């Protein structure tokens, strides 16, 4: 099954990001495809290379980057939401790219399921 994800919450303010990551990890382990994860609203904060959690905490941004590299997942950050939050190309973490809402629409069309995490 092809699955697309929409993440609307930031990495440390809400449980949605952790849940989305664990869902994606489990889906990939079961052989499902995740072609694209779209980060929208506060979810764009998952893409910032400026995030530095304490050493004893999970590094959510690094988790997404690693998943993108290992499974060829397209991590797309909404341009309008990113710019509102000061996120630009030069401070994106590895594996992320900035694009428009058309990428979300395309993910919804191409996937068998589009799963949303957060409000």
Within 30-119, residue ranges assigned H as helices are 60-71, 79-84, 102-110
Catalytic residue among 24, 44, 73, 78: 78
- How many C-beta atoms lie closer than 10 Å to residue 90's C-beta? 6
Instruction: Indicate if 78 belongs to the active site.
Output: yes
Domains of the chain: 2-117 (3.40.1260.10)
| pLDDT tens, residue by residue, 32-86 | 999 999 999 999 999 999 999 999 899 999 999 999 999 999 999 999 999 999 9
Q: Residue 119: pLDDT above 90?
A: no
The number of CA neighbours under 13 Å toward the Cβ of 65 is 13
- Per-residue model confidence (pLDDT) at position 1: 97
Contact 80, 106 (CB under 8 A): no
Q: How confident is the model at residue 97 (pLDDT cuts 50, 70, 90)?
A: very high
């Amino acid at each position: 099954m092809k699955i697309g994800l929409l993440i609307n919450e930031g990495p440390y303010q809400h449980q949605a990001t952790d849940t989305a990551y664990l869902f994606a990890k489990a889906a990939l382990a079961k052989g499902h495809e995740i072609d694209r994860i779209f980060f929208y609203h506060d979810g764009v904060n998952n893409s910032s290379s400026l995030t530095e959690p304490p050493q004893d905490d999970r590094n959510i941004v690094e988790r997404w980057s690693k998943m993108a590299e290992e499974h060829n997942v397209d991590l797309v950050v909404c341009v309008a939401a990113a710019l509102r939050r000061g996120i630009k190309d030069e401070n994106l973490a590895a594996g992320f790219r900035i694009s428009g809402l058309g990428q979300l629409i395309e993910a919804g069309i191409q996937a068998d399921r589009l799963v949303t995490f957060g409000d």
